[in-house]
Amino acid sequence: MWFKMFIFSIFLLQNTITDFDSLWNALQKKHKKGHYKSVTFTQKNTHFNEKDSIIGRSTWKEYIEFPNKFRIDMDSTLENIVLFRNDSVYQVRNGKLRKGDAYFHDFLAWNGGIFFIDKEYARKNFKNAGYDLTKFYTTTWENRKVYVLGASENDYKTPQVWFDAENLYVVRVFSNQGARIMELQFKKHKKVNKNSWIETEVLVFSQGKIIQTEEYFDIQASKKNLPKEIFELKKK
């Protein structure tokens, strides 16, 4: 009897997701309690030109601490680093630290940060990033049911996020990056623990053309914070 009630409650939950608020509540209920606080991994990239030809490969080391800390070491020399911290972005190029700029990392927020921030803070910043949170629809993508928030159906030029309807993890994000829309497709999810998942492959598109593929290795997820010095950059 309890099994039937459990299945019914899942069915009822998924069929009552119709807007930002109900989606937010479902995400919190399903993932917040056990979601990892931090994760590190090695990222192997393949880069493409406009003709879909491979123009290079690279290996990055990445450190994430939710909700708003994300560091990318773009080479092993630590001469080239990108750091997202507290709604700002800082860059080290050839060993020189550039001045920080304001930046709300919507990819990071959708893909884990939402479990560690207030809903109204999230609502405000997603709206500022161009997401129309009044728009919501259900569709199918890659033979799976998905929830789409932020745009109307068949509109791929507007910021929006796609969630797998069964597991409620992000599978697709369209983000306004200056004068262009960047699309990220999150694939090959693996379970980190009972309550959370992580993608192990990402496809990156600009203006509809693939520009980068990413594969994640050596994934280490934890419910603890990372050492604070990881997210501190000093001028040389």
Report the pLDDT value the prediction gives residue 2, as an integer from 0 to 100: 52
Residue-averaged pLDDT of the chain = 91
Q: Could you write out the DSSP letters of every residue in 63-92?
A: EEETTTEEEEE-STTSSSEEEEETTEEEEE
Report CA dihedral (43, 111, 105, 223) to the nearest 10 degrees: -80
Tokens 């520009």 locate to: 211
Q: How many CB atoms lie within 10 A of CB 197?
A: 20
Cα–Cα distance, 69 to 230 (Å, whole number): 10
Task: Say which residues have a Cβ less than 8 Å from residue 144's Cβ, sequence separation at least 6.
Answer: 164, 165, 166, 171
The CATH architecture one would assign to domain 2-231 is Clam (2.50)
Average pLDDT over residues 19-27: 96
Share of the chain above pLDDT 70, in %: 92
State the average pLDDT over residues 4-22. 68
Give the model's pLDDT for residue 179: 74
Query: What residue spans define the domains of the chain?
Result: 2-231
User: DSSP string spanning 3-59?
Assistant: HHHHHHHHHHHHTT--SHHHHHHHHHHHHGGG--SEEEEEEEEEEE-TTS-EEEEEE
Residue 158 pLDDT > 60, yes or no? yes
| pLDDT tens per residue across span 37-94 | 999 999 999 999 988 999 999 999 999 999 999 999 998 888 999 999 999 999 999 8
Segment 225-236 mean pLDDT: 85
> What pLDDT sits at residue 182?
93
236 falls in which pLDDT band (50, 70, 90)?
low
CA distance 140 to 40: 31
Position 20 scores a pLDDT of 97
User: What's the confidence (pLDDT) of residue 42?
Assistant: 98
- Cα separation, 186 vs 203, in Å, equals 7
